[in-house]
Amino acid sequence: MSTPIPIYLVNQTDLAKDHADSQAWAQATGFKADSSTVCLVPGTEGTLAKVLVGKPDPVDTWTLGNLAKTLPPHTYTLADEWPAPMDTKLWLGWCLGRYSFTPYKRQSPPPTAELLPPPGADTAYVTTTVAATTLVRNLITTPAGDMGPEQLQAAAQELCDRHLANLTTLVGDELIGHNYPMIHAVGRAYTQAPRLLDITWGNPDDPKVTLVGKGVCFDTGGLDIKPAAGMKLMKKDMGGAANALGLAEMIMGMQLPVRLRVLIPAVENSIAGNALHPLDVVPSRRGLTVEVGNTDAEGRLVLADALWEAVCEEPAPQLVIDFATLTGAARVALGTELPACFSNRPELADTLLACGLGVDDPLWQLPLHQPYRTMIDSAVADLSNVSNSSFGGSITAALFLQEFTRPEIPWVHLDLMAWNVRSLPGRPEGGEAMGMRAAFELIRQKVTKGCA
């Protein structure tokens, strides 16, 4: 095996102090140690002696995120000494940057560079997180024609098989018989029957955590049909389900001492003679009736039935987290790269945001502003699935979901894009895990210690 090529993170001071032998080459190539720039320093006989990388301030998970695909495909090692948590971050960012989605490509992707695990890196965490992120990205990026409710169920089954978890399903009219009427109503117009996926894993005596993921495998908008531009990316509308499955992969892969349950309503919001009409009134698992003010606000309907099941389980969960590509309003407020976070426990939201910053997986809290609750009142039903105003759409959607939670049970709602609209270091354009690592840290730090 050839000797690994060292990588050094440098600023201008480091370059002058520690790499005097490379300064002439750096000057000749225009390398000034600007953040994330790279200088390949040649050795004797045409070899590559070392790599200098401009050191950002601060150094984070994504500092090396581009290098796996941009450096020559050799083996490298981090030459600088870093604290163990930073070793973990840097290696994780490198590994996530190796990802490519290639199932539909004839040609194999070009080889990528390898980085030896830094000495302090948590290899179990990095390996598990890369597997979870790859699962999320693959599920979301797969075309909807190949990722309907049946295929999402198969992916959940594969996850369960890997970790000796249990999967039960309710399919088609079984949803009516077991009182999940809104999941059935949203998905009944598609050729693949709607279904509820229910995963359980772990010791029943451990703290209980329940995840809920919006699994709308494609969203036409229903009879309130989306325009072409709005429909184009709707294969990602099961991004909440993908993120919930990714978080489950992390929890089970890292063997967290929790009793895990994952509920995924898997449907396609399609168009047919039996599709929901605007202003239809549908019952819910909670017993509340819901007027369908817009058939394109279907995600909150399927989530509501699953959330009510989550909070009514006995013994009650210590934490419920739902993931959903729920509203364009959240994207207008925060952009595509910053998921919105809501919670009925302010201190829990604070901890989640701190966890996100700690692992470079940021979120931003929006309020469950109760005066807006009247905006989802209905004249003919207990509530409407859409607001009577064009403003505050992410908040009113969260308030709708809150009607299907219980105040005594800690609940977090993440409204996320689940898609990178541009390529960033370690995060190529396409399906993405957002909020997953932050939620894992929340569970690892708080729930497993009984503090949620």
Tell me the sheet residues that pair with 211.
262, 321
- 226, 345, 373, 406: the catalytic one is 226
| CA-to-CA separations, 295 to 220, 275, 279, in angstroms, rounded | 9, 9, 9
Query: For 261, what's the count of Cα atoms within 13 Å in the CB-facing half-sphere?
Result: 24
CB atoms within 10 A of CB 47: 11
Q: Is residue 372 a contact partner of residue 277, using CB atoms and an 8 Å limit?
A: no
Tell me the sheet residues that pair with 50.
41
Residue 226 annotated in active site? yes
* One-letter amino acid of 40: L
Tell me the sheet residues that pair with 259.
208
Tell me the sheet residues that pair with 93.
none
Say if strands 364-365 and 259-269 run parallel, antiparallel, or are unpaired.
unpaired
Please state the φ and ψ torsions of residue 408, each to the nearest 5 degrees: -80, -10
Q: Which two structure tokens, joined as six digits, stand for 181?
A: 């009427």
Tell which residue, 74, 117, 111, has the closest CA to residue 94. Answer: 117
Distance CA 281, CA 69 (A): 52
DSSP string, 221-287: -TTSPPPHHHHTTGGGGGHHHHHHHHHHHHHHHTT-SSEEEEEEEEEEE--STTSPPTT-EEE-TTS
First to last CA, the chain: 49
Tell which residue, 412, 366, 359, 362, has the closest CA to residue 212. Answer: 412
Contacts 24+ apart (CB under 8 A), 389-392: 392/329
Q: Is residue 199 a contact partner of residue 156, using CB atoms and an 8 Å limit?
A: yes
Distance CA 222, CA 172 (A): 18
Tell me the sheet residues that pair with 216.
267
Place of tokens 């995963």: 199
Distance CA 320, CA 343 (A): 10
Residue 437 annotated in active site? no
Q: Which two structure tokens, joined as six digits, stand for 107?
A: 């040609």
- 55, 195, 300, 427: the catalytic one is 300
Residues with a catalytic annotation lie at: 226, 300
